[in-house]
Structure 1
Amino acid sequence: MTRRRVRTRADLLEAAFSVFAAKGFGHVSIEEVCEAAGYSRGAFYSNFGSLDELFFALYRERAELIAEQVSGALAGHGPDLDVPAAVDRVTEALLLDRDWLLVKTDFLVHAARRPDVARTLLAHRARLRRAVADHLARARGHTRLPPVLGDTEGAAHAVVAAYDGVTTQLLLDRDVDHARAWLKQLLTALLTDGDGSDGAGTEPPGTEERTN
């Protein structure tokens, strides 16, 4: 891929992200993405076959960013990974981006009605869970995972489900600090049987004033 094409592709992805966040996936045309990026339809089709394909490129970028954040938070720690401390580091480093959550949620609804799209999205989510499971596998020499989770694959499913739930709440209340506090509490409880040393069992800030 030439440097110019790399730049064009990056511009189209950036423009698409902004347009999807503002208008919603499914309410945006290829022409609108091209106009926002300042390119022709020809430039679009030389990089992407469809808006679905463009979205998956966005999804891969974001998944890689999340993986880098997790890996960076865990860097320098060997097999004896301290799970509660790791949860602290990961939840502090993790980007909670409401615009991305809007785009992702729109696309989940779109995929639910398109089995072919759903299969591809499920494959991407499976790769994300495997990455989480790989990190959890390193932790087993230090902290025993709760038996109810089964193996590290089951624990990875629980981690991703907790993340999905907390970020859904973030879409509604727009409170990033509260979402981060809840994510930290949920992950600690899930991965340590609730006996973590970082505040598991206590209410996150503002909980008593909220209803779900």
Structure 2
Amino acid sequence: MTVGGTEKRVTRRRQRTRANLLDAAFTVFAAQGFGRVSIEEVCEAAGYSRGAFYSNFATLDELFFALYRDRAELIADQVAGALALDGPDLDVPAAVDRVTDVLLLDRDWLLVKTDFLVHAARDTAVAQTLLEHRARLRRAVADRLSRAGTPLPAVLGGADGAAHAVVAAYDGVTTQLLLDRDVEGARAWLGQLLTALLTDGGTPVRTN
């Protein structure tokens, strides 16, 4: 019993250490940029030694990927959860309102995400991580539209095309947010843009 209890305490302590390192790294990356941050700076911000860092991450790149993955999965879960609240039919304007209400529009996250995008553009292995997340986000949107049989503008070419357009709209609005820092304006504009995108623009087509 003692050994098992000790192992549980060690595991919980390590989980807390990892979470604290990720939180500290998020703040430091957002403030300085990924390429300008050292392991020592992350450890100092978190209040840990290099040994604590290396017991959780082999490199700064690994920590950066873990940070991106955690936040990216949160966003995908937010979108999927907001889209799942309707019954068999999907009320597009209401669903868009729910998505924009819960969607993470945090400027610090967008700075970190942009760093990751630039990093990925120069490294095919990193790019794969980013592509996998974006594909998951698109699937969440496309699957929900397909199940509902929601009529979509023909120009989008069906649920998959609509999902690509939704992610592209999010990218555009969040890029503007980096410059003007208007979070509430970004939410309002994203909602208007997605509603218009999914309900207007030509002769609707069924998605199933």
TM range, smaller chain: 0.7 to 0.9
- Aligned twin of 1:193: 200
Deviation at 1:66, TM superposition (A): 1.8
* Number of corresponding residues: 193
Q: Determine if the alignment matches structure 1 residue 160 to structure 2 residue 167.
A: yes
- Aligned twin of 2:101: 92
1:129 to 127, 138, 156: 138
Seq. identity, %: 83
- Matched position secondary structure for 2:20: helix
Q: 1-side partners of 2:80 and 2:17: how far apart?
A: 29
Aligned-partner residue type, residue 168 of structure 1: T
Deviation at 1:75, TM superposition (A): 4.4
Aligned-partner residue type, residue 157 of structure 1: H
TM-score normalised over the length of structure 2: 0.85
Q: 2-side partners of 1:38 and 1:62: how far apart?
A: 22
Structure with bigger helix share is 2
Q: Determine if the alignment matches structure 1 residue 78 to structure 2 residue 94.
A: no
Q: 2-side partners of 1:156 and 1:51: how far apart?
A: 33
Q: Deviations over 1:13-33 (max 9, x none)?
A: 000000001101111011111
Q: 2-side partners of 1:26 and 1:135: how far apart?
A: 38
- Aligned twin of 2:156: 149
Q: 1-side partners of 2:84 and 2:120: how far apart?
A: 35
Q: Deviations over 1:141-165 (max 9, x none)?
A: xx30112212322211111110010
Q: Which has the larger Rg?
A: 2
**Structure 1 residues not aligned, in runs of 5+:** 196-212
Contact between 1:83 and 1:139, CA under 8 Å: does it hold in 2?
A: no
- Aligned twin of 1:36: 45
- Aligned twin of 1:200: none
Q: 1-side partners of 2:122 and 2:15: how far apart?
A: 32
C-alpha root-mean-square deviation of aligned residues, in Å?
Answer: 1.8
TM-score normalised over the length of structure 1: 0.83
Q: Deviations over 1:89-147 (max 9, x none)?
A: 2112222100000111122112211222112222222222222222222332xx30112
